[in-house]
Chain A
């Protein structure tokens, strides 16, 4: 079965370091709440076998369980005959008009993200 690729993008031009990132679904290591409105997703480091990369997401208060469920649905999405490109969250509102949104905007409850790579 083809691999799903999971895409995250912050609100910006997506042209600078940590503006956007994509991980294979198989690289997902887990998620943990860090306070009432943040949920942090961890992935195998994209560069080397160092400390894992992570995306810290701002969500509605106490909504971690719902967001985890939506993430699981997207990561497991059966996308036969597509490119398996899955937007977990795209906050970029400044895409060139001729490109449009990459695909769906992703999990609507994620309102901000911080991408950390090792």
Chain B
């Protein structure tokens, strides 16, 4: 029987950006376990809490702002860009229907969902090797999903000096008698970290996934 190794990236359940100035660029999203967000597919909702009692520079699809603290769920289609965990949103000039011009002090709450390359599963037989790539960092290499002559790379961040423990843990997962199906190796979603018992106590706090090419 094959053992399948399942991973899910570290993601907070939500992130709050309080605009320090009147800019469309949100604060850098944190709590991602060493990885970043480059795809809007991970964004479930965006809610703006108005700092002001009025803001006429919002898209026509939204209810007019009439009070401090009014919440507006804005359309994710008006996300201008998403790169290196920084989200930029269209203002009302760029998108007259769904744009929203932020004011200094507006609070934008992002809720996350599963998106591009946030979760992945490999058969254990595709594991090609495990190497210590930095202090407190271990890299797993798998045969690629697409077979483009490169490896798919999974980086685990953990406490210093725990490489051997990580290797032993992965070995135990793959060869454990209790496993013959899918094993959740690391699941960092929703702000909660779930680890396979074999990896607990090693300070695992990061997961970076780099497939050979974008999917």
Contacts and interface: CB of A to CB of B under 8 A. Distances in A.
Contacts of A61: 113-114
A67 B116 CA distance: 16
B120 A33 contact: yes
Contacts of A64: 8, 114, 119
Contacts of A52: 144-147
B182 A50 contact: no
B28 interface: no
B44 A30 contact: no
Interface residues of A, number: 32
Counting chain B residues whose Cβ lies within 8 A of the other chain, the interface size class is: 35 or more
Among A32, A45, A75, chain B packs the most CB atoms within 10 A around the CB of A32
B111 to A, nearest CB: 11
B6 A33 contact: no
B119 A33 contact: yes
A94 B184 CA distance: 37
A62 B145 contact: no
Interface string B117-147: 1111111011000000000000000111111
11 contacts: A28-B123, A29-B143, A29-B145, A29-B147, A32-B117, A34-B41, A35-B116, A65-B119, A68-B4, A71-B4, A76-B2
Interface of A: 25-26, 28-36, 40, 42, 44-45, 49-52, 54, 61-62, 64-65, 68-69, 71-73, 75-76, 78
Interface of B: 1-2, 4, 6, 8, 41, 44, 113-123, 125-126, 142-148, 152, 180-182, 184, 187, 211, 215
